[in-house]
Copies of this chain bind each other. A is one copy, B any other.
Amino acid sequence: MVVSLRLPSLSSLFLPSVSRRSPAVLRRHHHHILRTPVFAASFSAQTTVSETDDRVDTQKSNRVQDQAVTPRSKDFNAWYLDVIEQAELADYGPVRGTMVIRPYGYAIWEAIQDYLNVKFKETGHSNMYFPQFIPYSFIEKEASHVEGFSPELAVVTIGGGKELEEKLVVRPTSETIVNHMFTQWIHSYRDLPLMVNQWANVTRWEMRTKPFVRTLEFLWQEGHTAHATPEEAEKEAIQMIDVYTKFAYEQTAIPVIAGRKSKVETFAGAVKTYTIEAMMGDRKALQAGTSHNLGQNFSRAFGTQFTDESGLRQHVWQTSWAVSTRFVGGIIMTHGDDTGLMLPPKIAPIQVVIIPIWKKDDDRAVVLNAASSVKEALHAAGIKVKLDDSDQRTPGWKFNFWEMKGVPLRIEIGPRDVSSQSVVVSRRDVPGKQGKVFGISMEPSVLEAYIKDKLDEIQSSLLEKAKSFRDSNIVDVSSYDELKVAISHGKWARGPWSAGDKEELRVKEETGATIRCFPFEQPRGIKSCLMTGNPAEEVAIFAKSY
């Protein structure tokens, strides 16, 4: 019964072209996998589910053997899907392209929420909630908005058993319903600025989906603001892309490049779109957050007006900005390695895992006792710590498992450590002996300080590593030929650009790359457009993207 209900695996669901190892194949590869460097921990990885247990729980022991992921260096996409599955971040939903976010993946999203929610409030925004059903007619009011979103809509046509008079769109984004409400709340300049945010689910009927990166339904926050002047709206749009940039660098250790989208890539209905672009481990770009200056496009379409100080009726100036569960995908693809996930300490659901080690039964109690004390001490210090005291796995199995899950630090405690009142600490981001330090005192204040220091060090180190990876993969180009070479080598191309939409689309057709942004950080002086040779005031970054 269970087997017959199981749907295709993540890979086959999201990218049917990727060939997928069957469980049988996986079992055959088991011993091979254990011998690869991926699983070369200090202890040989063995399941404690013995042969005699197979009858009882075949599926469980298969899953145990399952834990190796395709090395990232071998097949980035297969690696990504393996990590999501093996680290239990997400699973496929029953409807094509939908995703179930599992507790470990959801905890990363909660860390994102916790940080941003505070920042949004600090910058004067209030949370609220708009209904997700939007009358179809609303979507049609703003011309470019309907053009952008109508191919992606999910539409409710039946409610309470009856055909509906007006079809309802399941929100793909909320600018239309927000403006409908704003017309009722905004009367005079005294009602401005109006600055709100909602945490919500949105639906876009995407054809090519990929867990976290692009799913039919996803979770996000969408900020919506209305202002009395275009200057205030612009300032707000910039402020929020700055909040996102700081978040990306400081919390997720992703060195995004912030900038302005080209006209072609601007949000459907916006005047300007600001973006943060992140370089993934396969050097493709991921648009990780956007902030739109909507000008008066929606306020004119919906009649969102206010009476200014001189008594005149004016349309409000607006912004909207969003970050979604896609960010989780960005974290996976920025920091992960052949072994699996690697989480920046500041957003890791588990920052430290403690693995107790014993061979003789006599040692068990004494080791577990010490491990518990260490756990309590770190927990009391505000560190997210897990003690894996399960009897069912060997220490080696646990090492591999928690490395694959990307936990930044591992503490090992064996009988000899207990005798010397010390522990062994291993860094996830520095493989092998180099990342392992022996003899760290168990004394709570010493250990706590050491661990906090190491977590900070890992956080910085991940950012630095991602920065140098990014910088070594951006090529400055001054001609279209150079751009083509850079893109064909899988790199990002940065070069002066003042050509039109037509030329931009030509680049996309011929190279697969799009303008990711005109970065805020610009070299000085007027340059020549790489495509036309005309004067160009700005450089643009071109890259293939998700």
Chain A residues with CB under 8 Å of chain B are 1-2, 4-7, 55-57, 59-60, 63, 91, 93-95, 98-103, 105-107, 109-110, 126-135, 138, 150-161, 167-168, 170, 177, 180-181, 183-185, 187-188, 190-191, 196, 200-201, 203, 205-207, 216-217, 219, 302-305, 307, 309, 311, 392
CB pair B155 A155 closer than 8 Å: no
Least distance between A109 CB and chain B CB atoms (Å): 8
CB pair A131 B98 closer than 8 Å: yes
B residues less than 8 Å from A7 (CB atoms): 184
What CA separation (Å) do A183 and B2 show in the bound complex? 6
What CA separation (Å) do A95 and B169 show in the bound complex? 11
Q: Of B55, B160, B187, B307, which is within 8 A of A207 by CB?
A: B160
Are A56 and B311 also in contact (CB < 8 A) when A95-B168, A103-B127, A305-B1 are? Answer: yes
Are A94 and B180 also in contact (CB < 8 A) when A100-B131, A103-B126, A201-B132 are? Answer: yes
B residues less than 8 Å from A167 (CB atoms): 158
What CA separation (Å) do A94 and B131 show in the bound complex? 9
CB pair B156 A127 closer than 8 Å: no
Least distance between A89 CB and chain B CB atoms (Å): 10
Least distance between A405 CB and chain B CB atoms (Å): 14
What CA separation (Å) do A101 and B161 show in the bound complex? 27
CB pair A93 B160 closer than 8 Å: no
Are A106 and B93 also in contact (CB < 8 A) when A132-B217, A181-B100 are? Answer: no
CB pair B150 A154 closer than 8 Å: no
CB pair A216 B5 closer than 8 Å: no
- List 25 A-B pairs, Cβ < 8 Å: A1-B303, A5-B180, A5-B302, A56-B188, A59-B188, A91-B185, A93-B181, A94-B177, A95-B134, A98-B131, A100-B130, A103-B127, A106-B129, A129-B219, A150-B161, A151-B160, A151-B161, A153-B158, A154-B158, A154-B159, A154-B168, A156-B170, A157-B158, A160-B206, A190-B392
What CA separation (Å) do A278 and B120 show in the bound complex? 35
B residues less than 8 Å from A309 (CB atoms): 56
Are A187 and B60 also in contact (CB < 8 A) when A151-B161, A170-B170, A177-B93 are? Answer: yes
Q: Counting chain B CB atoms within 10 Å of each CB, which of A99, A167, A188 scores highest?
A: A188
CB pair A134 B183 closer than 8 Å: no
CB pair B94 A57 closer than 8 Å: no
CB pair B132 A106 closer than 8 Å: no
